[in-house]
Structure 1
Amino acid sequence: MAKKLSFFIGISLVLSLCNAFNPDNPSGRRILVLLDDFAIKSSHSLFFNSLQSRGFDLDFKLADDPKNALQRYSQYLYDGLILFSPSVQRFGGSIDVAAILDFVDSGHDLILAADTSASDLIREIATECGVDYDESSMVIDHISYAVSETEGDHTLIAADDFIKSEVILGSKKIGAPVLFQGIGHSLNPANSLVLKVLSASPAAYSANPKSKLTQPPSLTGSAISLVSVVQARNNARVMISGSLSMFSNRQILSIKCPEGWKLNKKSGNEQFLTELSKWIFHERGHLKAVNVRHHKAGEGEEPGMYRINDDLEYSVEIFEWSGTSWVPYVANDVQVQFYMMSPYVLKTLSSDGKGLYSTAFKVPDVYGVFQFKVEYQRLGYTTLSLSKQIPVRPFRHNEYERFITAAFPYYGGSFSMSLIDYELRQ
C-alpha cells in the first residue's frame, strides 16, 4: 500500500513539474497566492480572474498555513508567487524570507503588495529587492486626489506618472489615472535593476494623516515610488506595490472622480494591472535566441577553427513571445563581439525583419582562443547572453605567399648584389 501511495505521489509531482515554466512556451504556469484572509480572494476577484483567463493556474492559501511549500524533492512546485498578505508576521510551512529570495534567484516571478499594516517580514523582502517602504505613513496628495469617504486626508490619490516603456505597460496608453491608497517607497540607489513604474505627483508627500506634520516629510514628490519592478540578472521579474487595495474590485471599478476629471470616468487600475502583470509573468518582453551560426564566407559548415584574416559570417535568430506564440523580434541595436580578453571586433547585426540577424567581418590578425559574444540588454526585455568559443590560428609555413609585394625592393637588392659579385669575380 505504501509503495502504491509513493508511486501516485511521484506521478502527481511529475505532472505538476510538466506545467512548470518552459522558456520555449512561457504560458500555462502555476502561481501560488498567499493571503492574509480568504476574503481577499473575492474582494480582489477581478485581478485574479484576469490571470486565470490568460491560462494561469492559481493556488490560493493562507500565508500562515503550516502546509505551505514552494518546493518538494528539490523541485519547485510553482513558477510565480503573489504575496497579498501584508500583515503576516511569519509564513507557514517551509516558506520564509530566504526561501522566497531563493525562489526569485532561481528565475521565478514575484508580486508583493503591502499597505499601512505591512509587517517587518514583508518590509524585509522588499528591502532585499532594492525597495525601502516608508515607516508609519501614507502617500498624501492635496491636488491629485480622488473623492473618498475620509474626505480631507486625501490619501486616495490618482496617479498617472507612468514609466515610458511600451514593453512594460503595453503599446496602448493607460486611459485614466490609477487609484492608489497606501504607503510609498524609495529605491535603493545602489540597485540598478529596480525601476519606478508608477510615481507620485510633484505635489505628493509621505506622512501620517492622523498626526500633525511637525517636520518636513522624508519622501516628497516624484521621488515617491508607488509601484516598482525589478528584472534580475537571471530574468526573474518582481513587482512591488505599496497598496493592496489598488488590486481590489472596488478601485478597479471605481468611477468616483478627483477634481478636474470628467464625470463617470473609470479608473485606470484594470488596464495598468493587466498590462503590468503580463510583463511580470513573461507574456511580453520575453526573448529567445536560436540557430546561432558562424562559418567562413561562401561556406555553410561551421569550422573547428579559423585562420587569421579569414572572412566569416555570423547569424542568430531572435524571437519574442507575444503571449500565444513566438513572433520575430525586430531591432537595430543587437551587436556581436569577437572577443579575447577584450573585443577585437564589434559589429551591429542587420535584421531581415523576420527574426534573422547577421553580419560579416574579417578575423583579426591575432591568434588565440576567441569568443562570439552577444550581450543584449534592453529596458523591459529579458537579457540575451550568448557565447561560442572558437580558436584562431596563424598561417602555416606553407600558407604564406611565395613572394611578398612589400619585399620586392629587398629582392631586387639581393639580386643586384649577386650580379655585382658575379661581375667582380669575372
Structure 2
Amino acid sequence: MGRNNFSILTILLVTLLPILTLSFSTDSPTDRRLLVLLDDLSLKSSHSIFFNSLKSRGFDLDFKLADDPKLALKRYGQYLYDGLILFSPSIERFGGALDLAAVLDFVDSGHDLIIAADSSSSDLIKSLATECGVDFDEDPSALVIDHKSYAIAETEGDHTLIAADDFIESDVLLGKKKIEAPVLFKGIAHSLNAANTLVSKVLSASPLAYSANPSSKLSSPPSLTGSSISLVSVVQARNNARIMITGSLDMFSNRFFRSSVQKAGSPRKYDKSGNEQFVTELSKWVFHVRGHLKAVNLRHNKAGETDEPAMYRIKDDLDFSVEIYEWSGKSWEPYVANDVQVQLYMMSPYVLKTLSNDKKGLYHTSFKVPDVYGVFQFKVEYHRLGYTSLSLSKQIPVRPFRHNEYERFITAAFPYYGASFTMMAGFFIFSFVYLYHK
C-alpha cells in the first residue's frame, strides 16, 4: 500500500512540476514561455529571423498548428504560457480547448498577445481583433493601397507594397534608437475603435492611402482612407496585458527583413528595410522587456518622525514617499519622471502634489493635512503611454483637535473676548455709580 502511494505521489509531482516552473518569478515580469500558433509549419523557416530574435532574448517558443486537437492554454487551472503569438490568419476554428473566449480569458488574466492578419484572415481572427478595440476592413479582398508612399520595385505593380515611416513618437514603444529605413507592409487595413481609449497607433498609413480591392475599379468611396488607417496598433489593457495587432503577416518574414527598400519620391535607397528593428523593438515592449514599472515602499509619517502613525490630526505636517522602478530586461532600474503625483483623497482630492525624485527611484513630498477630519486615502494613480499603470492606495484616518489641544486664545475670537471684558467693566462702573452716587 505504501509503495502504491509513493507511485501516485511521484506521478503527481512529475505532472505538476512543469506547470509550477512555467510561471516567471514576480521579481521578473518578462514573459518566458510563448505559444506560437501557425497556419503552416513552413512559417517556422520563412519567419525564422523573428523567432530566433525571441529565442536569443531567452524566450521559450512552443510551435503548434492552430488546428492541433491537443491545443490548451491552461492545465489544472494554471496557464501553461505567458504569451501567445497568432500567425494563423486563415484559421476558422482553433483546435483542442482553444477558442475565442479562451484567448480573451488569457488576455484578461494579464497575458500578452500578438495578432498578425492578412488578406486571407478569417472571421475568427477579425472578431478577436474587434474584441481588442481594432476593426479590420470588412471587404475580404481589400488591401492597403498607396500611390505615393509605395516601395519602388522592379515592376510597377499595384502599389500594395507600402513603405511606411509614420511611426509613433515613443521611446518606450520603439526604443531610443531612431528607425531610419521605412517598414515594408503588405496587407489589410484596420481602424481603431473610437470608444476604446486603450488602443494606440504605432504605424500609420500616409494621408493618401486607402483600402480597396487592387484588381477592380472603385465603384464607391473606400470605407478606410488616409491617416485613419492603422497598419500596426498596440493595446495595453487595464490589467497591464499587452497586445500587438497588424494586418500584415509578411511584415515579420525573412524576405521583408532582408529586403532593400526605396520609398517612392525619395532619392535614398536603404540596403535593409526597417522591419527587423521595428518588430524587434515593439516585441520587447509587448513582452514586458521595456516599459514595465513597479512601485514599492509606500510610506508616510509625521514631519520629523520615522514611524508610520495609525492616525493623523488635522493640520499635521507629513512626509510622503514611494519608490518606483522600471524593468530593463535584466534588472530593476530607477524610474525617473517628473509627472508622478499623490492625492490625499476622500470622495474627492483634498491635496494633489507632484512628487520630487532623487534620480534613484525615490519619489517624495511634504504637505499639511487639510482642516477636515474623516477617513482619507493616499492615492498614486500613474498612467503614461507605453508604461504599465500604477495604482496604489493606503487608508488613514484624520481626527479633529481634542478639547485640550486648541490654542488658549484664538485670534478669530478676539471680538468676543473684547465684548466679555467690556461687559464686565460696564457692570463694575454701573454698580459703583449706583451704590455710591445718588
TM over 0.5: yes
Question: Could you tell me how far 1:8 is from its partner in structure 2?
Answer: 3.8
What is the match of residue 68 of structure 1? 71
Question: Could you tell me how far 1:93 is from its partner in structure 2?
Answer: 1.0
* Aligned partner of residue 238 in structure 1, secondary structure: strand
Structure 1: state its 5+ residue gaps: none
Tell me whether 1:365 sits opposite 2:371 in the alignment. Answer: yes
* Aligned partner of residue 90 in structure 2, secondary structure: coil
Superposed, which structure 2 residues align to 1:291-370 within 5 Å?
Answer: 291-370=297-376
What is the match of residue 374 of structure 1? 380
Superposed, which structure 2 residues align to 1:24-103 within 5 Å?
Answer: 24-27=27-30, 29-103=32-106
* Aligned partner of residue 132 in structure 1, secondary structure: strand
* Aligned partner of residue 300 in structure 1, secondary structure: coil
What per-residue deviation string (whole Å, max 9, x for no partner) do you get for residues 171-202 of structure 1?
11112000011101111111111111111112
* Aligned partner of residue 297 in structure 2, secondary structure: strand
What per-residue deviation string (whole Å, max 9, x for no partner) do you get for residues 227-276 of structure 1?
10001111110000100010000100112544435345210000000000
Report the TM-score when normalising by structure 2: 0.93
> What letter matches 2:317 in structure 1?
D
What per-residue deviation string (whole Å, max 9, x for no partner) do you get for residues 96-141 of structure 1?
0001011111111000001000000000000101111112201112
Tell me whether 1:402 sits opposite 2:408 in the alignment. Answer: yes
Superposed, which structure 2 residues align to 1:17-416 within 5 Å?
Answer: 17-27=20-30, 29-134=32-137, 135-136=139-140, 137-148=142-153, 151-259=156-264, 260-263=266-269, 265-416=271-422
1:109–1:280 CA contact under 8 A, matched in 2: yes
* Aligned partner of residue 398 in structure 1, secondary structure: coil
* Aligned partner of residue 218 in structure 1, secondary structure: coil
2:19–2:78 CA contact under 8 A, matched in 1: no
**Change beyond 3 A, Cα 1:7–1:91:** farther
Distance in 2 between residues matched to 1:393 and 1:278, nearest whole Å: 49
Q: Looking at CA atoms only, which structure, 1 or 2, has the larger radius of gyration? A: 2
What is the match of residue 435 of structure 2? none
CA RMSD of aligned residues (A): 1.8
Distance in 2 between residues matched to 1:400 and 1:187, nearest whole Å: 59
**Change beyond 3 A, Cα 1:23–1:196:** farther
**Change beyond 3 A, Cα 1:387–1:264:** closer
Distance in 1 between residues matched to 2:96 and 2:144, nearest whole Å: 34
1:28–1:57 CA contact under 8 A, matched in 2: no
* Aligned partner of residue 123 in structure 1, secondary structure: helix
Question: Could you tell me how far 1:410 is from its partner in structure 2?
Answer: 2.2
> What letter matches 1:165 in structure 2?
S
> What letter matches 1:213 in structure 2?
L
Question: Could you tell me how far 1:415 is from its partner in structure 2?
Answer: 2.7
* Percent pairwise identity: 73
Report the TM-score when normalising by structure 1: 0.96
Give the count of matched residue pairs: 426
Distance in 1 between residues matched to 2:31 and 2:198, nearest whole Å: 27
